[in-house]
Structure 1
Amino acid sequence: MKADERFFRFQEDFRDPYARDRDRVLHCSSFRRLEYKTQVFLNHEGDYFRTRLTHSLEVSQIARTLSRMLELNETLAEVIALSHDLGHTPFGHVGGDELDKLLKADGHPLGFEHNFQSFRVLTKLEKRYKNFNGLNLTFATLEGVLKHSYPYKKPFLEVLDERFALEKHPSLEAMVVDHADEIAYTSHDIDDGIKYALISFDDLLEDELCLRVDEIVQKEGVSRGEELYRHRFVAGLIKLLVEDFIENSKKGAQEYRKTNPIVSTLDASMPLPVGFSKVTATQLKRLKKLLFTKLYTHEKIARKMYAGKQCIKGLYSAFSEDTDLLPPHQKSLFEIRNKQRVIADFIAAMTDRYAMKTYHEIYGFSL
């Protein structure tokens, strides 16, 4: 065999399947658009706020750490984490909720669900090959994106290939991503909320889990009044949750791996083999409830989210009434897909600022 022939064979095979998946996701258009999609705070309000892109990177970092410590497939966890929010609409969850209502009102029982939309992005909406749609990813990656959040009983799964079984847990790596997602958004929402004075440490330090973190920070010699305290608090919260998860999951992951390959055979009615300790899980649930009450429903956020919802509603109504407002490519898809689904796909792919710009062009005024 000639040297150049060996080189080209090496080129074809040097990455493992999940590394190929990861690289295909990183280079796709939907991943780049996450930079200008809302996580919780509209990102044009300030440069500090997390976006869907920075959130996905933070989830990936935490998922890789957890997987490495549990001796799981780190690259599989990484690609699931990087892909898990590709289907999110502009304006965070309110955008998806509004599209769900609009589609169901138009007679689409499956509505809109962001995990399913992420799956559709990866298998249908991204176009990178001549003879088929999607990014040509592995089953484990696609299953992890569909079923990384528990419980799995969602209508959209009933129309999919039977391999994506409702009655089975996904891979351990997908379960890890679910918990990494929870760690990431809880910690960075606190960071952003404190930074922009939408929540205070006076609110947080009434919470048991936050008091545990405060004790960690105080032992470092950083007091509550110092400017550094916020950074050390967020780092301490991540550290506490990561260490708790690893310690509580080692045995379950080890036992599970003895009898299960990456494709899961574990019945979904059985408890998850990985997770937080009971004490920490209970405390984290209470902290998330506190954040919902004090932060996520804050009037400044609520007003922006309401405006985003009206933008989604206005775009959907306009495109449904006059399809000439859509780009030619979108109109050409009516031949192979349902009109309302094409419209929903187009809106879901928009960034916040493109959605607002389009709304302004159609209606002649800004939100």
Structure 2
Amino acid sequence: MESVTQRFYPVNPDFRNPFSRDRDRIIHSSYFRRLEYKTQVFLNHSGDYFRTRLTHSLEVSQIARTLATHLGLNAELAEAIALAHDLGHTPFGHAGGDELDKVMRKYGYSNGFEHNFQSFRVVTKLEKRYKDFDGLNLTFATLEGILKHSYPYEKPFLKENLKATFQLEFHPSLEAILVDLSDEIAYLSHDIDDGIKYGLIDFDTLRDSALVNRAIIYVEEVEKIGCKDSIFRHRFTSRLITILVYDILENNAVFHQEIPQCFKYNAAEPLPLTHTKEMEKEIKVLKKILFQSLYRHEEIAKKMFMGKRCVRKLYECFNDETSLLPKDLQKRIQNGEKTHRICADYIASMTDRYAIALYEELGF
């Protein structure tokens, strides 16, 4: 990569560092605001307490910034990547994205849909904020973190010049890997919190996880709060996050001495920023419990079935009858852009409520 702070278009310097500037551009974007009404796990209109893509992104950025600060990495870069990492997600969570990928392939578009690339597309093309160029003109370091997360990016979406720019065959920066770890910490903790709040899972089921048991025992024995207390769930969630964060800090303390404020790019092997082996095993057990008992719960399954049908029907409708698309999107097709990409951009940009309203308006 030519320079971690380089952008595709020149900018005049101001009072912010380059990654703080990225963060501000992301926060003020329309796609970031739309995350407020996009599903994380539970449909947005199901209850006021549930996390959305917006609150999830804020929680990820808070954890990532804390970890980066304590590990001597660049906190502003980690924060910017975290805030942008879900901008390309469709309505209805991963179920919506999986369905959009499936229906695009059914229509013969072999690349399908991939949310990392869609997030990259949002910040490089779809967000309209400047007269002279499309996108937000973020630094290359932030863009690479949005694309790669923790691994080389092997999907065939990018043009050859961009593949070379971001050297996609290599692993990303430590800050990007840190965001991936923070993403996992955030969703594990808040999915449990939301699931228990609405009675979709309980602590008795979760006690099969040694990780959960440790957090429960701490709250009960150290904080002296019983499981029937109204604040127990909140204290448990806080303790679970603390356990997971401490594991990363203790397992990677060497970074603070060896590579302060470092961006380490173009690594052929995975960089050693990880949980301990023991914690990785415990996380795997917890994920299995959540998959079986929460994510496949019939109440969630019913909502996701509806969401998938909504995405599928909207795509088929717009792909077959482009006159139903907004005028600016019709113009892009007339100017030579691929219909399947325009339809995917439009559906991925929708909030849950807008997609449902449009689905009903079209008579499905």
Displacement of 1:158: 7.4
Q: CA RMSD in A?
A: 1.7
Distance 1:181 1:227 in 2: 27
- Answering whether residue 311 of structure 2 is matched by residue 312 of structure 1, we say yes
Are the counterparts in 2 of residues 70 and 246 from structure 1 also a CA contact under 8 Å? yes
**Could you tell me the TM-score, scaled by structure 1's length?**
0.92
Q: Which residue of 1 aligns with 2:30?
A: 29
Query: Shift of residue 167 of structure 1?
Result: 2.8
User: Where in structure 2 are the equivalents of 1:210-221 lying within 5 Å?
Assistant: 210-218=212-220, 219-221=222-224
- Name the CA distance, whole Å, in 1 between partners of 2:351 and 2:113: 17
CA distance in 1, matches of 2:173, 2:319: 40
1:246 matched residue in structure 2: 249
Rounded to whole Å, the distance in 1 between the matches of 2:208 and 2:78 is: 34
Which residue of the other structure, out of 190, 200, 207, is the alignment partner of 1:198? Answer: 200
Indicate the residue corresponding to 1:148 in structure 2.
Answer: 149
Question: Match for residue 239 of structure 2?
Answer: 236
Please state how far the C-alpha of 1:157 moved relative to its aligned partner: 5.4
Mapped to 1, the partners of 2:93 and 2:329 lie a distance apart of 23
Letter in 2 for 1:196: Y
Query: Do 1:172 and 1:253's aligned partners in 2 also have CA atoms closer than 8 Å?
Result: no
Unaligned residue ranges in structure 1 (runs of 5+): 1-10
Q: Look up the equivalent residue of 1:177 and give its one-letter code.
A: V
Task: Return the TM-score normalized by structure 2.
Answer: 0.92
Distance 2:262 2:336 in 1: 37
Contact kept, 8 Å, 1:252 with 1:273, in 2: the verdict is: no
Partner of 2:163: 161
Alpha-carbon distance, 1:261 to partner = 4.9
Give the Cα separation in 2 of the matches to 1:158 and 1:302: 37
SS at match of 1:329: helix
Q: Give the 4+ runs in structure 1 shifted more than 4 A.
A: none
Residue in 1 that maps onto 2:81: 80
1:224 corresponds to: 227
Contact in 2 for aligned 1:59/1:177 (Cα 8 Å): yes
Unaligned runs of 5+ in 2: 1-11
Tell me the CA shift for residue 222 of structure 1: 1.1
8 Å Cα contact 2:101/2:114 also seen in 1: yes
Task: Give CA deviations for 1:285-306 in whole Å, capped at 9, x if unaligned.
Answer: 1101110000000000000000
Deviation at 1:319, TM superposition (A): 0.9
Please say if residues 98 and 309 of structure 1, whose CA atoms lie closer than 8 Å, have aligned partners that are also in contact. yes
Task: Give per-residue Cα distances to partners, 1:333-355, cap 9 Å, x unaligned.
Answer: 10141011101100000000000
Of stretches 195-204 and 103-112 in structure 1, the one that deviates more from structure 2 is 103-112
Alignment-derived partner of residue 100 in structure 1: 101
Alpha-carbon offset, residue 155 of structure 1: 3.4
Aligned to 1:117: 118
Aligned residues: 350
Cα shift at 1:325: 1.0
Deviation, structure 1 residue 106: 2.2
Deviation of 1:151 after TM superposition, in Å, equals 5.8
Hey, what does 1:5 align to over in structure 2? none
SS of 1:13's partner is coil
Which stretch shifts more, 210-219 or 158-167? 158-167
Cα distance in 2 between the residues matched to 1:85 and 1:359: 23
Cα separation, 2, equivalents of 1:107 and 1:34: 29
Q: What do residues 81-130 of structure 1 show as CA deviations (whole Å, max 9, x unaligned)?
A: 00000000000001111111121222222210001100000001111222
Q: State whether residues 206 and 212 of structure 2, in contact with CA within 8 Å, keep that contact through their aligned partners in structure 1.
A: yes
Question: Which amino acid is 1:206 matched to?
Answer: D
Q: Say if 1:190 and 1:158 are closer, same or farther in 2 by CA, change over 3 A.
A: farther
